[in-house]
Amino acid sequence: MPALLRRDFLPLLPTAAALSAQRPASAAGRPNIILIVTDDQGIGDLGCYGDPHARTPHIDRLAASGVRFTQWCSNAPICSASRAAILTGKYPDRTGVKGALPSRPAFDVEGL
């Protein structure tokens, strides 16, 4: 390290040490985040978003005391790729999920 940079760096060491010794935020100061993901549901299909016929009192209460997102866009047209992207933090193209995942039958119908 050149002398000029070392001379500039050394006075900053006590400040950096003091800042790194601070305690992390307490658990009480952290927000609770609940992400509810549903399939085949539009924005108007819940009471908190204006559907007069849907009775969703628990979700409505959560929405009233929290944050509602009204400008949500999905990068994938199907739920499997969207869910994989949300759970991994990757773009849908990078998750390896290219289409709808096949459903499994509840029991082997060919053996009947």
63 belongs to a structural domain: yes
Residue count of the chain? 112
Give the chain's count of helices (H) and strands (E).
5, 0
For 52, counting Cβ atoms within 10 Å of its Cβ (0-12 exposed, 13-18 middle, 19+ buried), the class is: exposed
Assigned domain for 99 exists: no
- How many angstroms separate the first and last alpha carbons of the chain? 77
* Per-residue model confidence (pLDDT) at position 25: 61
Residues 6+ apart with CB under 8 A from 90: 84
Task: Find, among 63, 60, 41, the residue nearest to 52 by Cα.
Answer: 60
pLDDT, one tens digit per residue, over 8-44 is 666 766 676 666 666 666 667 778 888 877 777 777 7
In a domain, 14, yes or no: no
Position 45 scores a pLDDT of 86
The tens digit of pLDDT for each residue in 34-71 reads 887 777 777 778 888 888 898 889 989 988 988 887 88
pLDDT band at 94 (very low <50, low <70, confident <90, very high): very high
Mean predicted confidence (pLDDT) in 74-89? 84
Residue 13 confidence (pLDDT): 63
The verdict on residue 24 lying in a domain is no
Give me the domain span that covers residue 62.
47-94
Does residue 82 lie within any of the structural domains? yes
Whether pLDDT at 107 is above 70: no
User: How many folded domains does the chain comprise?
Assistant: 1
**Residue 90: predicted pLDDT:** 92
